[in-house]
């Protein structure tokens, strides 16, 4: 199987090059949706120095098990419907948090489309926050 792939790439190097270029563009485009990725330490700095707001897009049950201090919980499926609750923060840094850092980009993209200007995603999500021994609030 691997030999056939190599043979195809050699015989159709132009198509293979285009495919690789498109794949790279897709990864870059998807990775930049919803703001820049920030580490837990960078998120803490944004919260402490720029009064960044934290938007936790996990389910209510996951949120109750532990979340960042002062986080606002709007599950990802409800973000578009509840944008009015965030209207006051349009020009404030917002850090979008999910469980692993993989689904916060979609919510961030909705916010960007709605005119929010300073968006960030917590790299690695709440799991990375916990792995960094950062505090969680339970409610």
Mind listing the pLDDT tens digit for each residue in 10-58?
998 998 899 888 887 766 665 556 678 899 999 999 999 999 999 999 9
Which pLDDT does position 51 carry in this prediction?
A: 95
Is 136 among the domain residues? no
76 & 27 share domain: no
Residue 22 lies in a domain: yes
Q: Tell me, yes or no, whether 87 lies in a domain.
A: yes
d(C-alpha 114, C-alpha 59), whole Å = 22
- Smallest CA-to-CA distance from 115 within 96, 95, 97, 88 is with 88
Residue 92 neighbours by CB distance under 10 Å: 14
Q: Given CA atoms 94, 100, 102, 103 in this order, what sign does their dihedral have? A: negative
Q: What is the pLDDT of residue 48?
A: 96
Question: Which domain range does residue 67 map to?
Answer: 34-131
- 139 falls within a domain: no
Residues 72-90 pLDDT 10s: 999 999 999 999 999 999 9
In sequence order, which residues have a C-beta less than 8 Å from that of residue 56 and are 6 or more positions away?
63, 67, 68, 71, 72, 73, 74, 97, 98, 126
- For residue range 115-127, what is the model confidence (pLDDT) as tens digits? 998 999 999 999 9
pTM given for the model? 0.77
**Does one domain contain both 38 and 81?**
yes
In total, how many domains does the chain have? 2
């Amino acid at each position: 199987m691997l030999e056939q792939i190599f043979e195809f790439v050699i015989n159709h190097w132009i198509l293979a090059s285009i495919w690789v270029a498109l794949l790279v563009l897709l990864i870059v485009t998807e990775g930049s949706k919803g703001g820049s990725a920030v580490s837990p330490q960078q998120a803490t700095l944004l919260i402490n120095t720029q009064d960044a707001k934290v938007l936790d897009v996990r389910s209510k049950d996951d949120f109750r098990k532990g979340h960042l201090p002062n986080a606002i919980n709007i599950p990802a499926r409800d973000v578009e419907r509840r944008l009015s609750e965030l209207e006051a923060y349009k020009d404030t840094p917002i850090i979008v948090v999910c469980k692993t850092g993989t689904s916060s980009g979609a919510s961030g993209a909705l916010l960007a489309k709605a005119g929010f200007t300073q968006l960030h995603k917590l790299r690695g999500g709440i799991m990375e926050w916990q792995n960094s021994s950062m505090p969680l609030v339970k409610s």
